Amino acid sequence: MEAFAKYFEYNELLRMFISKIEFAKAKLFKKTNINETEKENVLELLVKDETKEIKELVKKVKLIASAVTKTRNLQIMPENFLNSEILASEIVNDFSGIEGLKVEVLTKKEIQDLNMGLLLSVNKGSTHEPRVVVISYNGDKRSKEHTSIVGKGITFDTGGVNTKGYHMDGMKYDMSGSVIAAYAVKTLAQLKAKVNVSAVMCITDNRINADASLPENVYQSMSGKW
């Protein structure tokens, strides 16, 4: 690291190395018919002056890097391994036990009761129920400020009846916004940040069946507007 010290601030250099190490060693979703024995690569980062400030920085960057890895892993999973119901369960399981973090999952019945007609219209062609996941963290009880992040959670977007045809490669990534928002809030909670923040994940896939929404259909939104 010292060879790069004259080009970067030390803290920024440390942040970069930790992030790159985590990115390189991440084990992401993969299915294969070949029995592979993965070689475990050991990567170590030696810090010359491990002060209290440096230890705190390392802890912070490792938490962020881990969140990025978990986000990437969910993004790369195909819809037949990560539909709306499974994704909601994954979030509940992974976010449990974190101080100050609350996770609430709305089922299809609860979504209907809230008259979330636009989400339900996208879900009409799906074989899986929609889910709304609300993740809340209140780290600053003295403040009335609250930030909400809404992330798109379409686990696969065919375009519905107005199909995307040959342009569907990568449509499993349409849920990326929702998991990025979720893990941002989780990381803030783990860091005990002095902020009040929530993430809302509206999760379904968008596919075609005999009941799928048509391009000129009209649905009522949660606000009551058509």
Whole-structure pTM value? 0.88
Question: Which one has a higher pLDDT value, 16 or 203?
Answer: 203
**Pair (216, 162) in one structural domain:** yes
**Pair (92, 194) in one structural domain:** yes
> What DSSP letter does each residue of the chain carry, written as one string?
-GGGTTTS-HHHHHHHHHHHHHHHH-------SS-------------SS--HHHHHHHHHHHHHHHHHHHHHHHHHS-TTTS-HHHHHHHHHHHTTT-TTEEEEEE-HHHHHHTT-HHHHHHHTT-SS--EEEEEEEE--TT----EEEEEEEEEEE--TTS--GGG-TTGGGGGHHHHHHHHHHHHHHHTT-S-EEEEEEEEEEE--STTPPPTT-----TTS--
**Pair (54, 106) in one structural domain:** no
**Pair (111, 221) in one structural domain:** yes
**Pair (61, 154) in one structural domain:** no
**Pair (72, 125) in one structural domain:** no
Question: Which one has a higher pLDDT value, 140 or 19?
Answer: 140
Query: Which of 51, 76, 101 is a domain's end point?
Result: 76
% of the chain beyond a pLDDT of 70: 89
Question: Which one has a higher pLDDT value, 167 or 40?
Answer: 167
172-215 residue pLDDT tens:
999 999 999 999 999 999 999 999 999 999 999 999 999 999 99
Q: Please count the structural domains in the chain.
A: 2
**Pair (113, 184) in one structural domain:** yes
**Pair (159, 119) in one structural domain:** yes
Residue 8 has pLDDT above 90, yes or no: no
Give the model's confidence band at 154: pLDDT under 50 very low, under 70 low, under 90 confident, else very high.
Answer: very high
**Pair (63, 136) in one structural domain:** no
Q: Which domain holds residue 58?
A: 1-76
pLDDT for 20: 85
Q: Of the ranges 39-48, 53-62, 123-132, which one carries the lowest mean pLDDT score? A: 39-48
Q: Of the ranges 4-13, 24-33, 196-205, which one carries the lowest mean pLDDT score? A: 4-13
Residue 1 has pLDDT above 60, yes or no: no
- When the pLDDT of each residue in the chain is averaged and rounded to a whole number, the result is 90
pLDDT for 207: 94
Q: Of the ranges 5-9, 22-26, 118-122, 218-222, which one carries the lowest mean pLDDT score? A: 5-9
pLDDT for 190: 97
Residue 52 has pLDDT above 90, yes or no: no
